[in-house]
Amino acid sequence: MRHLTRSLLLAAAGTTLAAGTLAPAATAAPPDHARGHQDTLRRQAPKDLQIGSAVWGQRDLLGYDRLDPTEHQRVLAREFGSITPENDMKWAEIHPEPGVYHFSGADAIVEFARANNQEVRGHTLLWHSQNPQWVSDAAADWTCEEARDVLEDHVRTVVGRYAGEIYEWDVANEIFQDDWDEGGVRLRTEANPFLAACSEDPVALIGDTFRWAHEADPQARLFLNDYNAEGVNTKTDAYYALAQELLADGVPLHGMGSQGHLSLMYGFDDSMQANFERFAALGLDVAVTEADVRVPIPEGQDGPTPEQVTLHAERHDAMLEACLAVPSCTSFTVWGFPDASSWVPDVFPGEEWATIFTDDLDPKPAYHAMLESLREATPGVSPRSGR
């Protein structure tokens, strides 16, 4: 990994229910407020790599006015060629009751992306977390066939609504436990209500989830996705074996996503590029889907130390460089901004400063490190060329 120069660091330090069809695209050109900003992440990225950010449509994009955007919306449009719904397409938000779908937040994201010539990554269809109460209540009594019917309706409804609008979908999210969990690395056939109902053959259900998504939108690239899936380890070994099994069975699996939720409390796994390369050798795309780097800040400490700022930048850049080194890496997504909107402090007390923008929307050294790597990158060969 290229280490950050002192001059780079010093320069950087200055720093509701909806129905019907979606509105037609406002424009295919870059947004007006992005013009004149050539030195941005989205403009410096190789043409075959999307640099993206997560966003919460219900919070950040409802009522978007292209002629009078908020400052957050300006940065989102200027810097990123791809956006991911952080929460708006999760079950609890989009399917809160049986037969009831709330599309307003997801629609806002898709419409913002259209207006600003951005792509959208869909997130997520099959997950053990953030499910609505009605799923938790009903799941205890489901037969496998009943669980399949509920999941199929959801997948076909959501993916079908946005067919042609979403270029990559996180279809199956966090379906393996970590090796330190009780029982070790194995499919979550207890925590995931759908896999639990079909525990006799969970792989068949996973495969059919991909098939339903592909039938609903044949253009979308369909991904497995998980945390602690950056380097070569027991968890990614399990995903590698699963990918081989699904592909051998003709399942339309197109990619493996590594979330990239890192912490300075731990070291960086230098086998990330090697891990991407082995999935690429299966014919799959790879992606960094949810990148952020948590910084432990003890009570009483006023922000990160200079050493932590440097490491924070180097970790973001190391993930990006692993992606840039593998032509099949199609997207690199940071998990939202600024720090005030980050999920990290609520979930990891004592850790913060995880994103690449300050609360004043100033770019951190991590942003500048990524920008420098993108400037130096050699474009790869897009598996989606011709689209």
Which member of 93, 119, 290, 321 is catalytic? 290
321 is catalytic: no
290 is catalytic: yes
Which member of 79, 119, 165, 174 is catalytic? 174
pLDDT digits (tens, 9 = 90+) for 296-311: 999 999 999 999 999 9
For 18, half-sphere exposure in the C-beta direction (CA atoms, 13 angstrom radius) is: 17
Can you give the pLDDT of all 387 residues of the chain as single tens digits? 444 443 344 334 443 333 344 544 333 334 444 444 579 999 999 989 999 999 999 999 999 999 999 999 999 999 999 999 999 999 999 999 999 999 999 999 999 999 999 999 999 999 999 999 999 999 999 999 999 999 999 999 999 999 999 999 999 999 999 888 788 899 999 999 999 999 999 999 999 999 999 999 999 999 999 999 999 999 999 999 999 999 999 999 999 999 999 999 999 999 999 999 999 999 999 999 999 999 999 999 999 999 999 999 999 999 999 999 999 999 999 999 999 999 999 999 999 999 999 999 999 999 999 999 999 986 643 333 332
**CA separation, residue 22 to residues 60, 103, 305 (Å):** 18, 10, 47
Residue 196 to residue 192: CA distance in whole angstroms: 6
Domain boundaries, the chain: 6-376
Under a CB-based contact definition with an 8 Å cutoff, are residues 60 and 86 in contact?
no
pTM score, two decimals? 0.89
What SS3 class is residue 9?
helix
Angle in degrees, 0-180, between the axes of helices 272-280 and 306-324, rounded to the nearest 10: 20
Architecture of domain 6-376: Alpha-Beta Barrel (3.20)
3: how many CB neighbours lie within 10 A of its CB? 11
